[in-house]
Chain A
């Protein structure tokens, strides 16, 4: 059985101009211990799909799916209370803007122990020790001293480490990372990606990487889903996707990479759109 299995997911938003289809019948499956990358441009619905899974979309969104199961648990019919027991514990998520996702008014020690208190029923000393332990595992120097630090006292890369620490603190079975390194420098990006992959391999959790960066895909993924305008263009394992892309959109995307440039001009996706018909 797959860890997460979603069939025919559709998401529509009510807008002043009528319904807008953000996702049009996409399937996702993730197994335990697998790294799935979802790639696409802005507006391709890559984040919407995972926000729908987490139940984080606003109520202007209409979500329908033939199947939406996490470990056999039907996510469509969960009550808000039941959902809170799963979200943040068994499924957790990391967002793009690390500094904006932490509460500026509380110390990181407080924010981290909050998760442990809610989901694991830990208290005082026990929670504190566990927080120090997790901060050590994500590579924060002097973790015991950093507990009383506020988010603004830390750099972007360190805040992202704290976010990762928070996400893995309850040993989730599935971790969803939504553009986790987009706001970071290349050298820091490398450290964060290495950390995520290391944690994933050590714990055997499923990892979903949402990204628009083909470099990040190449460095982390086992399997890749390419999305465009709310539809799935291609699904393949990472090697065959780069070696032998099937869909014309994937081909277009790969040839727009500056490192693949052969001539003076870069081919653009619109050059391919007419020929490929997507």
Chain B
């Protein structure tokens, strides 16, 4: 079973130095405190928490945007510590990221075809005709048309842009995909389409997801394992059913209690309480 673990994180820390000023002492902020996790191949780990809890810092470390202060990250057997070794092309091919805001994450002056080809251009020696073929295939795979190849990002809706961002992320055939709130900026019906697309791609390409979200109904739908973070620490970690059925930590319970309920029984209860 051990070789099935694609992402292994042990005792991960990240601290940021806060500069002092004339009246303020310099201090350090620990954004991620001692995180341990294992993700098995082809499964989804959901990371839940409120803003400022360190979930995006964790994503930045997993995707090699930021270096860890201490601790071990191992992706598909490859140990990662970019502050010591830098980033190799091999490492880049292992992991990719999809960001929350599809309006901000695409260059407005770059055609979609070039958006998709750029990872290949930077990381492989593939000839241009082959890159183009791959990009066209990928467009089809994420539910877009070949004629979208020459268009610019402003010509697409939010949901289509998120499809483009997903296509770009899987161009390198990564093993691990980090999704940082990929559906929170989208409408309900578009959200459903993107979640379906992610499920299809996972099945087809054997992808492993780290899915960062604050929406518990989405997490419950998509996750195999759930990790709840609070002020940089993991307060709850287990399979989806364990966490949802029997939350241990107070913060997880607060989170569940705060999630709006859209079932008929809860509405009835609320209306009855109001009438009283």
Contacts and interface: CB of A to CB of B under 8 A. Distances in A.
A259 B221 contact: yes
B267 A239 contact: yes
Interface stretch (B62-70, B130-138, B211-219): B211-219
Interface in A252-278: 252-254, 256-261, 264-270
B188 A212 contact: yes
26 contacts: A156-B51, A185-B51, A186-B259, A187-B254, A190-B257, A190-B259, A201-B274, A212-B187, A213-B188, A215-B259, A216-B260, A219-B260, A238-B271, A239-B268, A252-B189, A256-B188, A256-B191, A258-B217, A258-B218, A258-B220, A259-B263, A268-B192, A268-B196, A269-B189, A269-B192, A270-B189
A120 interface: no
Contacts of A264: 199
B187 A42 contact: yes
Contacts of A270: 189, 193
Given A186-B255, A242-B262, A265-B199, A218 B216 contact: no
A217 B260 CA distance: 9
A220 B216 CA distance: 19
Interface in B240-270: 254-255, 257-264, 266-268, 270
Nearest to A237: B271
B251 to A, nearest CB: 9
B179 to A, nearest CB: 15
A78 B191 CA distance: 41
Interface residues of B, number: 37
Contacts of A254: 262
Contacts of A266: 192, 195-196, 221
B50 interface: yes
B260 A215 contact: yes
A259 B188 contact: no
A258 B262 contact: no
Contacts of A190: 257-260
A242 B266 CA distance: 11
Contacts of A201: 274
Contacts of B192: 256, 258, 266-269
Given A186-B216, A189-B258, A258-B195, A253 B189 contact: yes
B189 A186 contact: no
B18 to A, nearest CB: 16
Contacts of B188: 41, 212-214, 253, 256-257
A261 B221 CA distance: 7
Main secondary structure of the interface of A (DSSP, over half): helix
Interface string A67-91: 0000000000000000000000000
Nearest to A185: B50
A268 B193 contact: yes
Contacts of A218: 260-263, 266-267, 270
A46 B218 CA distance: 24
A219 B271 CA distance: 9
A217 B262 contact: yes
A145 interface: no
A242 B264 contact: yes
Given A268-B192, A269-B189, A187 B255 contact: yes
A187 B50 contact: yes
B195 A257 contact: no
Contacts of B220: 258-259
A53 B48 CA distance: 39
A196 B84 CA distance: 52
Interface in B178-211: 187-193, 195-196, 199
A215 B262 contact: yes
Chain B CB within 10 A, most for which of A41, A186, A213, A215: A186
Interface string A234-251: 000011001100000000
B261 A219 contact: yes
Contacts of A253: 188-189
Contacts of A189: 258, 260
Give the most central of A218, A254, A270: most B CB within 10 Å.
A218
A257 B217 contact: yes
B262 A185 contact: no
A141 B268 CA distance: 33
Given A258-B195, A261-B221, 4 more contacts: A186-B214, A190-B260, A193-B260, A214-B188
